[in-house]
Structure 1
Amino acid sequence: MEPPRFPRLTGDAAVSVRPARPDDAPDMARVQAVTWRTAFRSVLPADVLDEWDEAAAAEVWRATVVRPPTPAHGVVVALDGATVVGFAAYGPPEVDPGEPASADGPTTELAILLVEPRWGRRGHGSRLLAAVADLAGATGAARLSMWVAEADEVTARFLESAGWARAGWARTLDTGDEPLREVRWHAELDGEGVR
């Protein structure tokens, strides 16, 4: 079996995607905090953002990288030079008892895909998505899925431009004060990436 491709481009600065390492955890927590506080301020509940504990988040990400829940879970980071500018975490999807299993094969779910806003529009999100598609395809996944906040139009446009579509499923999360409605997006894999 051929190893997964990790897209690499060159230009003014080397940009790449690689598997996350334990020492990336503080940078991942920083990217998450900055992205949520700037790009997701209108989407996420204010108390979630105001009570964010970056050190605790770093420990969670470190544990996720060191001891993934299953071999099918993983985290990749996007680099601009030596700086971690984004990351994506993926694994088997949460099982909804009301949803029938697909005859086409297993699904890999993106739990999170974030690029720090100041590094946006430079292809980092696309490289992260391509790396996850390669890694998922190498394990036999037939599709990717991701839950996206219904109000998150930026992520919705990004996924649509990458060939994804709404899957027709929605859920509402209890976040305390205000419920958060999410819709599921998906893309089929064909061995060469998203089709």
Structure 2
Amino acid sequence: MSPTPADRSADRGADRGADHSVRVAWADDAAAVATLQLRTWPELYAGLVPAEEFPSGPAAEEQAAAAWRELLIRPRDARQRTLVALDRNRVVGFAMTAPASDPDCDPVADAEVMEFTIGAPDRGRGHGSRLLQAAADTLAADRFTRAVTWVVSEDDALRAFLTAAGWAPDGAHRELDLDGSGRVRVKQVRLHTALA
């Protein structure tokens, strides 16, 4: 029996859906995640951190990839997860989740989205929404009831994206000393959401 036009259309839709996905990161993803992280840091901290402070080049990428490989093979906590957003087989984003470590959080009930990154060329294509939903689903499956994340206070785009997805400020804020010298300080606000 030959496929109908509706069947062919459904198949094409299934193919498109398969091109964009989210899955748990593998050790083999370490280099791609490290490269993406190093390339997005200058954008994330633009105007806050001098350009020369960012690690770059092959040696920095190799060192970051080794650290990510170790983290993916031996996470610090059984409920720590790294998810990757894919365009076909290319890593275009990643999220890292774990039990929340803030003193006012309950590490049994509260989780933290510690990293949430989509590469600039791939934003606005649904990868962020898929990745955020997959992170929430993973946290709910791990029986967390609330998630928090820290956002650079000047990052209006990420804050708007998260707010549109149901996250809201919870009143907490902090200032990080990025290099330990006191020269590079970054202000952050915390957002939270209930997990279904």
Counterpart of 2:74?
Answer: 67
Aligned residue pairs total 179
Tell which deviates more after alignment, 110-119 or 11-20. 11-20
Structure 2: gaps of 5 or more residues: 1-12
Instruction: Tell me: CA distance 1:30–1:51, structure 2 relative to 1, closer, same or farther (3 Å).
Output: closer
* Alpha-carbon contact 1:108-1:144 (below 8 Å) kept: yes
Amino acid at match of 1:33: L
What TM-score do the two structures reach when normalised by structure 2?
0.83
Q: CA deviation at 1:47?
A: 4.4
Instruction: Tell me: CA distance 1:59–1:153, structure 2 relative to 1, closer, same or farther (3 Å).
Output: same
* Alpha-carbon contact 2:110-2:146 (below 8 Å) kept: yes
Counterpart of 2:120?
Answer: 117
What TM-score do the two structures reach when normalised by structure 1?
0.83
Per-residue CA distance 1:51-108 (angstroms, 9 max, x = gap): 6822211111111110001111010100001111110001011132xx2649xx7111
* Alpha-carbon contact 1:166-1:186 (below 8 Å) kept: yes
Secondary structure in structure 2 of the residue aligned to 1:94: coil
Counterparts of 1:83 and 1:25 in 2: how far apart (Å)? Answer: 12
Counterparts of 1:178 and 1:37 in 2: how far apart (Å)? Answer: 13
Counterparts of 1:100 and 1:55 in 2: how far apart (Å)? Answer: 34
Instruction: Tell me: CA distance 1:19–1:124, structure 2 relative to 1, closer, same or farther (3 Å).
Output: same
Task: Pick the structure with greater CA Rg.
Answer: 2
Instruction: Tell me: CA distance 1:18–1:44, structure 2 relative to 1, closer, same or farther (3 Å).
Output: farther
Counterpart of 2:9?
Answer: none
Structure 1 runs of 4+ aligned residues shifted over 4 Å read none
Amino acid at match of 1:152: D
Counterparts of 1:178 and 1:40 in 2: how far apart (Å)? Answer: 10
Amino acid at match of 2:148: S
Structure 1: gaps of 5 or more residues: 1-7, 191-195
Q: CA deviation at 1:189?
A: 1.0
Counterpart of 1:127?
Answer: 130
Q: Tell me how large the CA RMSD over aligned residues is.
A: 2.3
